[in-house]
Amino acid sequence: MLALIAADRLPGQPAPDPLLVSGPARNGLAETATLVLTDGASQIHGAVHVALRSHDHAGLIGWLHAQENFEAVAVLIAAARARLGPVRMLYGGTGPTQPPEVATHALPGIAEHHHAATTRALRAAGFTPATSRLYLHHPLTPTPAQSHFPLAEVRPLTDPPGVQLTLLETDGSPLATAVLHSSDDGHWLLRYLAVRAGYRHRGIGANLLAQCLQIAHLRGATSLIAHTDEDDHASARFLTHAGFAAVDTLTIHHRRP
């Protein structure tokens, strides 16, 4: 099943963690299950992971993989709907049910272009777009340019693994902070970057992002991915100016009962 999931990876996404299939769900979710589509020879042709959200009884289709076979995806969506039952609302593509620290790189949303058949099958089943995020990728070859002063303070993170970079004011207060999550196969994620109000539009964020690229490269990263709200054009421009390329749009769908 992991090979099925791995086949749907976008550029810059690491190999799927086995915990995506077997790990315990985060708090607030119930009745999680992985439904598998097989043939007469017990060969797996697709899988879908579902859960119920406790606070509003919404049904979640966390992830869905079937090698972009429209008919197989349609069968899995029907099976997911039957399993979730008459819930108030269904959501498709909400991402892993495990805590974020377990599946740091598994971002929510269905890739509209890379997974066009899955998107069409969801729309055919009555789902419509709810929220969308832009997925971006930055290969770290050639070597990123040397960083300029001021240099960020770098602190290792362990759960999940990665690093935190902080630019400090002369009094020691933080000006800007970024968090990077690492992976064993060199694909890193820019989880967060923010500049303190009053210090924006001064090149501080660009300086910190350049240092993120260099630090990731020095620590073995071969690429960095990032994501931002689809309508956050300023963030998209900021990232593309630094060398990120937009790869796809990740969309969560919903369906009313």
Kindly state whether residues 99 and 190 are assigned to the same domain.
Answer: no
* Pairing outcome for strands 90-92 and 245-255: antiparallel
Q: Are residues 127 and 72 in the same domain?
A: yes
Strands 90-92 and 59-65: parallel
Instruction: Mark whether 104 and 205 lie in a shared domain.
Output: no
Buried/exposed code over 141-163 (b: 16+ C-beta within 10 A; e: otherwise): eeebeebeeeebeeeeeeebebb
pLDDT for res 212? 96
- The reply to whether 111 and 167 lie within a common domain is no
Same domain, 26 and 91: yes
User: Is 229 among the domain residues?
Assistant: no
Same domain (yes/no): 168, 115: no
Q: Is residue 243 part of a domain?
A: no
At 75, list the tokens.
């069968």
Domain presence at residue 213: yes
The CATH number covering residue 92 comes to 3.40.630
254 contacts 89 by C-beta, under 8 angstroms: yes
Residues 93 and 151 in one domain: no
Q: Do 66 and 17 share a structural domain?
A: yes
Question: Beta 187-195 vs 174-181: how paired, if at all?
Answer: antiparallel
| Predicted TM-score (pTM) of this structure | 0.93
Walking along the chain (257 residues) 10 residues at a time, the average pLDDT comes out as 90 86 83 92 94 94 96 98 92 90 84 98 98 97 78 93 94 94 94 93 93 95 97 96 97 95
Domain shared by 146 and 182, yes or no: yes
Q: Which of 219, 210, 217 is nearest to 244 (CA)?
A: 210
Q: Are 92 and 76 in contact (CB under 8 A)?
A: no
Which domain, by its residues, includes 13?
A: 2-133+250-255
* 187 and 116 in a common domain: no
For residue 236, being part of any structural domain is answered with no
Work out how many domains the chain is built from and give that number: 2
- In the prediction, which pLDDT does 230 show? 95
Assigned domain for 228 exists: no
Residue 227 lies in a domain: no
One domain for residues 53 and 95: yes
Whether residue 146 is found in the same domain as residue 176:
yes
Strands (E), 112-244: 128-139, 153-158, 161-168, 174-181, 187-195, 223-229
A 10 A CB-CB count for 205 gives: 21
Decide if 123 contacts 94 (C-beta within 8 A): no
Distance CA 133, CA 232 (A): 9
Answer yes or no: is 59 within a domain: yes
What's 187's domain CATH number? 3.40.630.30
The answer to the question of residue 160 being in a domain is yes
Residue 84 phi, psi dihedral angles, 5° rounding:
-75, -25
pLDDT for 256: 92
The pLDDT tens digits of the residues spanning 118-130 come to 999 999 999 999 9
Distance CA 115, CA 106 (A): 15
Quick one: pLDDT at residue 21? 79
